[in-house]
Amino acid sequence: MTTLFTSYRLGGLALPNRVVMAPMTRVRAAAGGLATPSMAAYYAQRATAGLIVSEGVQPSAIGQSNPGTPGLHTDEQVAAWRPVTAAVHTNGGRIFAQLMHGGRVSHPDTIGVLPVGPSAIPAVGDVFTPTGPQAAPTPRALDTLEVPEHAQAYGRAARRAVEAGFDGVELHGANGYLISQFLSSNANRRTDRYGGPVAGRIRFAVEAAAATVEAVGGARTGIRLSPGGTFWGIKETDVLELYTALLTELARLQVAYVHLEATTDEETLLALRRAWPGTLIVNPVLPMGPKQTGRDDADHWLALGADLISFGRAFIANPDLVERLRGGLPIAPVDEATYYQGGDAGYLTYSAHQYGR
Instruction: Report yes or no: 137 and 122 within 8 Å, Cβ to Cβ.
Output: yes
- The full DSSP string for 120-181 is S-PPSSEE--TTS-EEPPPPEEPPTTTHHHHHHHHHHHHHHHHHTT-SEEEEEE-TTSHHHH
Q: From 173, 148, 168, select the one nearest 158 (Cα to Cα).
A: 168
54/25 Cα distance (integer angstroms): 8
H or E element at residue 221: strand 221-225
Phi, psi of 242 (to 5 degrees): -60, -50
Dihedral class, residue 305 (left if φ above 0, else alpha if ψ from -120 to 50, else beta): left
Please provide the size of the chain in residues: 357
Q: Which amino acid is at 311?
A: F
177 is catalytic: yes
- Could you say which of 43, 177, 194, 257 is catalytic? 177
- Burial of residue 341 (CB within 10 Å: 0-12, 13-18, 19+) is middle
Task: Mention every residue, 6+ apart, whose C-beta is less than 8 A from residue 53.
Answer: 20, 21, 22, 23, 95, 96, 97, 98, 170, 222, 224, 259, 310
Intra-chain end-to-end CA distance of the chain, in Å:
33
Tell me the CA distances in angstroms from 210 to 23, 52, 177, 217, one per residue in order: 22, 23, 18, 9
Task: Mention every residue, 6+ apart, whose C-beta is less than 8 A from residue 349.
Answer: none
Which residue numbers are catalytic? 177
